[in-house]
Amino acid sequence: MTNGVDGSPDDHSIDGRRRNQTSAEDARVARTRADVSAAALEVLTTEGWDAVTHATVARVAGYSKTTLYTHWPSRVDLLGLALDVLGEMPHHTPTGDLRADLIGEMTVFRDAVLSLRLDRILLALAHWGATEDDIARVRTRLVADGESVVRTVLGRVAGGTRLDAAVAMFSGAVICPVLMYGETPTDEVVAAAVDIVLHGVSTD
Amino acid sequence: MTNGVDGSPDDHSIDGRRRNQTSAEDARVARTRADVSAAALEVLTTEGWDAVTHATVARVAGYSKTTLYTHWPSRVDLLGLALDVLGEMPHHTPTGDLRADLIGEMTVFRDAVLSLRLDRILLALAHWGATEDDIARVRTRLVADGESVVRTVLGRVAGGTRLDAAVAMFSGAVICPVLMYGETPTDEVVAAAVDIVLHGVSTD
């Protein structure tokens, strides 16, 4: 809706025509933004962030490089657009069975690394987040979202520093094999990680 | 040594002058290679691999872009040079005290992430290792070197899938906070991770 700040939907004032032009312009910019966002995310996840350049994203989105440079002058702007449309992280829905819920959530995370190429998104966030405040904020939001289920489920049996260590270890059990060996962990490694941590944080 | 394939150090044959020229040429190439390698590693660890371009590395090394393109035509070549001179990973020397050795090794790893910027090196390896066989081989070697002490020490109390899971979790306890929050884990988180895993892999 573009009713103006007075909120009147039936505005017949002298400003009406100009406002309609602005509305059409806004819609065009919004459509361009959506197209470019989708293209930037596609390039990021299929080719990595080295490929997220104005030339490549313009080609994939079907716009001119000039249009992209006009609205989003830097490569970080393009990365920000890509992350804007990434959406929520996929999650396992907890059932109340501690072990099954942790294995389920780690399995969803592992599979999302492959299907959404979360490893490439994480690499881009880690690289740009170190120097760009906007990207660091996106990173913080995505990581908090990504960790939320493990943190809640595991929070039933651990807290404080032990919870922080356990959450980092669960993330690491999935992401380290991807980053360091180029392969995701097997079901057996996921289950072993859950069993080690559950046994490890128990008080007996 | 450039004595030729016959191994004679006192060669006065008709080929001597040409061989000396080759030797001087080899020495010059070797010096260029060493200079460019050092410059490429410096650029990688201070600015990240986005900055590892022929222009930047040539400037830092004090050579012309043409020289770099002649010997190392691609950016992957420059990354390979940087990794060639990275050397061995720093390690804690095991004392036989399981808990102290694991905490010591993780602390050395954490500190090396900051001092050597291992996170940036890991990001470059993860990115390029996915598509470039040469880089994947360097990655395998560096990861095996990096994990060797934890794998040996922890191998006294765990094996097989549980050892693989535990090693990935230890790496993750250090590297995930760096990649995901932009900060290294505290001494308390390192100790908590070691205690969780040691308790978790125990059979009682």
Closest CA to A189 of B16, B158, B55, B102: B158
State residue B15's pLDDT score.
59
In a domain, A158, yes or no: yes
How many Å lie between the alpha carbon of A9 and the closest alpha carbon of chain B?
45
Non-local CB neighbours of A3 within 8 Å, separated by 6+ positions:
A9, A11
* Mean of all residue pLDDT scores within chain A: 88
**Residues of chain A with C-beta less than 8 angstroms from the C-beta of B168:** 172-173, 176-177, 185, 189, 193
Q: What is the pLDDT of residues A122-137, one digit of tens each?
A: 888 888 888 888 888 8
Range of the domain at A45: 16-84
Domain's final residue, options B53, B84, B115: B84
Alpha carbons A97 and A95: distance in angstroms, whole number: 6
Cβ pair B128, A124 in contact under 8 A: no
Please say whether the dihedral angle defined by the alpha carbons of residues A110, A113, A118 and A120, taken in this order, is positive or negative.
positive
Total domains in chain B come to 2
Alpha carbons B61 and B53: distance in angstroms, whole number: 12
Cβ pair B165, B151 in contact under 8 A: no
- Same domain as B143, residue B55: no
- Same domain as B187, residue B155: yes
Q: Flag whether pLDDT at A37 surpasses 90.
A: yes
Which single residue is written with the structure tokens 């872009």?
Answer: B65
In a domain, A46, yes or no: yes
How many Å lie between the alpha carbon of B127 and the closest alpha carbon of chain A?
7
Q: Flag whether pLDDT at A158 surpasses 80.
A: yes
**Residues of chain B with C-beta less than 8 angstroms from the C-beta of A184:** none
**Most confident range, picked from A24-28, A125-129, B162-166:** B162-166
Selected residues 123-152 of chain A with any CB under 8 Å from a CB in chain B: 123, 125-127, 129-130, 136, 139-140, 143
State residue B6's pLDDT score.
42
State residue A6's pLDDT score.
41
CA-nearest residue to A186 within chain B is B161
State residue B3's pLDDT score.
39
φ, ψ dihedrals at A72, nearest 5°: -135, 85
Cβ pair B195, B166 in contact under 8 A: no
**Residues of chain A with C-beta less than 8 angstroms from the C-beta of B188:** 161
Do the interacting molecules here have an ipTM over 0.85?
no
- Same domain as A193, residue A117: yes
- Same domain as B193, residue B106: yes
3-state secondary structure A42-107: HHHHHHCHHHCCHHHHHHHHCCCHHHHHHHCCCHHHHHHHHHHCCCCCCCCCCCCCHHHHHHHHHH
In a domain, A93, yes or no: no
Which single residue is written with the structure tokens 């990096």?
Answer: B146
With pLDDT > 70 as the criterion, what percentage of chain A qualifies? 90
How many Å lie between the alpha carbon of A32 and the closest alpha carbon of chain B?
27
In a domain, B131, yes or no: yes
- Same domain as B112, residue B20: no
In a domain, A6, yes or no: no
Entry field: residues in chain B: 204
- Same domain as B117, residue B78: no
> Looking at residues A81-86, what average pLDDT do you find?
88
Tokens linked to B55: 């222009």
**Residues of chain B with C-beta less than 8 angstroms from the C-beta of A136:** 182
Q: What is the pLDDT of residues B18-51, one digit of tens each?
A: 667 778 888 888 999 999 999 999 999 988 888 8
> Looking at residues B166-174, what average pLDDT do you find?
95
Domain's final residue, options A41, A62, A84: A84
Q: What is the pLDDT of residues B103-162, one digit of tens each?
A: 999 999 999 998 989 988 988 888 888 888 888 888 988 999 999 999 999 999 999 999
In a domain, B21, yes or no: yes
Residue B46 one-letter amino acid: T
Q: What is the pLDDT of residues A92-129, one digit of tens each?
A: 999 999 999 999 999 999 999 989 899 889 888 888 88
- CA B124, chain centre distance (Å): 11
> Looking at residues A34-39, what average pLDDT do you find?
95
Identify the CATH number of the domain in which residue B45 sits.
1.10.357.10
Residue A133 one-letter amino acid: D
pLDDT band, very low/low/confident/very high, at B166 (cuts 50, 70, 90) = very high
With pLDDT > 70 as the criterion, what percentage of chain B qualifies? 90
A127: number of Cβ within 10 Å: 23
Q: Between B88 and B41, where is the model more confident?
A: B41
Q: Do B161 and A188 touch (CB under 8 A)?
A: yes
